[in-house]
Amino acid sequence: MTGATRALVIAPQWIGDAVMTEPLLRRLAARGEVLSVAALPWVAPVYRAMPQVREVIELPFAHGGLQLQARRRIARQIEGRFDVAYVLPNSLKSALLPLLAGIPKRVGYLGEARVGLLTHRLKNPARGHGADKPPMVAFYSALSGEAGVESDRPQLKLPADVLQAALSQQQLQPHSYTVFAPGAEFGPAKRWPAQHFAALAAQLDQPVLLLGSAKEAALCEEIAQAAQSMRSNLRAQKNDPSQPESAQPRPHACSNLAGLTSLIDALALIAQAHSVVSNDSGLMHVAAAFGVPQVAVFGSSSPKHTPPLSDRAQVLWLKDDPSYQPPLDCAPCFERECPLGHTRCLNDIAPERVAQALALR
């Protein structure tokens, strides 16, 4: 290991973005760089699912503010340890730690007022408009300075004991359940309706696990309760009075685990799922990076900008559906809430259509 380049990677703050940085880290490790990742606690587990990462340094920072005192303290702890830093977020504060730590080579995009903070600056790609926004995986991989980044795809891997522990805790077998990830931190214009998720769960012939953060617990509970009610109604319709109760069909469980699992356990449950249904969210990218069969429902955002990069993923986006009328000229708007108040881009994707897409995975 003597003479190897010691690299510090400053990670983005969102789970999906963290997943999309994996190809960059794979490129850096392949050319012999020894990687440490500085990440906020809620994304740090994603980097522990990347075998090429030697060390994860959890940063005690909160949202907002420069928090210079905390950054100086961490900088003193890591001073002299690294030869190069790759600053993945575009903010000014994300570039401060490498500067304060005296890391001689600091690579990143120009970002906001960072000319003096970075030694090697890439020009930001054209922002584009709507569906023309550039792909994010290639955006991160370009920081390697290498060519061919357009074909990069994220890959995650967890140790066998981590995978088994997550299954044992939920008393599950591999590939025996479907995962729903109904949340989207950005806002409701990216969320397929709760009643649609519930109706889909009622149609499936296996248990459903609802995964998300504590902020999404109420949303997931709404889905779980509605799904159980719908499944019970379906069971009542199928009951045969001539058969004993033990022979009657029973509704499968729809379990709300939002906020009740660690992120590493949520990753493990996704990795071993039969299939995953999600919005355009961080957990969508997780499923793609594990190669799990999935259906991703897009509304206000664009699968040309942040697609699930997997051959086992199917995207449903009414903007690209020529049979959908009238056309969605408003999409993608990239807004947190529908500016027009109808959210047709999501409401008009029927549960039956998602069920059909799942059957093809």
pTM of the model as a whole: 0.92
What is the model's pLDDT at position 241?
A: 56
Highest mean pLDDT among 58-62, 108-112, 236-240, 255-259 belongs to 255-259
| pLDDT over 90 percentage in the chain | 83
What is the model's pLDDT at position 178?
A: 98
Above 50 in pLDDT, residue 2? yes
d(CA 39, CA 240): 56
- The CATH label, of 2.70.50.60, 3.40.720.10, 3.40.50.2000, 3.30.70.1450, for the domain at 6-144 is 3.40.50.2000
Mean pLDDT of the chain: 92
Whether 6-144 shares its CATH topology with 161-238+247-360 is answered yes
Which residue blocks in the chain are alpha helix, DSSP H? 15-20, 22-30, 44-47, 68-78, 96-100, 136-141, 160-170, 194-203, 217-238, 263-271, 282-290, 344-347, 351-360
Residues near 307 by beta carbon (within 8 Å), at least 6 away in sequence: 135, 296, 313, 315
Contact 21, 11 (CB under 8 A): yes
Above 60 in pLDDT, residue 22? yes
Q: Distance between alpha carbon 167 and the CA centroid of its chain, in Å?
A: 20
- pLDDT tens-digit map of 139-148: 999 999 999 9
Average pLDDT for 44-58: 97
- pLDDT tens-digit map of 274-288: 999 999 999 999 999
State the CATH class of domain 161-238+247-360. Answer: alpha beta
- Show me where the domains of the chain are located: 6-144, 161-238+247-360
- pLDDT tens-digit map of 78-134: 999 999 999 999 999 999 999 999 999 999 998 777 888 999 999 887 665 555 667
What is the model's pLDDT at position 239?
A: 63
Above 80 in pLDDT, residue 50? yes
Residue with tokens 């986006």: 317
d(CA 135, CA 309): 11
Is residue 47 classed as helix, strand or coil in its secondary structure? helix
Segment 135-138 long-range contacts (CB within 8 Å, at least 24 positions apart): 135/304, 135/305, 135/306, 135/307, 136/17, 136/20, 136/305, 136/306, 137/20, 137/23, 137/309
- pLDDT tens-digit map of 27-48: 999 999 999 999 999 999 999 9
What is the model's pLDDT at position 245?
A: 47
- pLDDT tens-digit map of 299-347: 999 999 999 999 999 999 999 999 999 999 999 999 999 999 999 999 9
d(CA 24, CA 204): 37
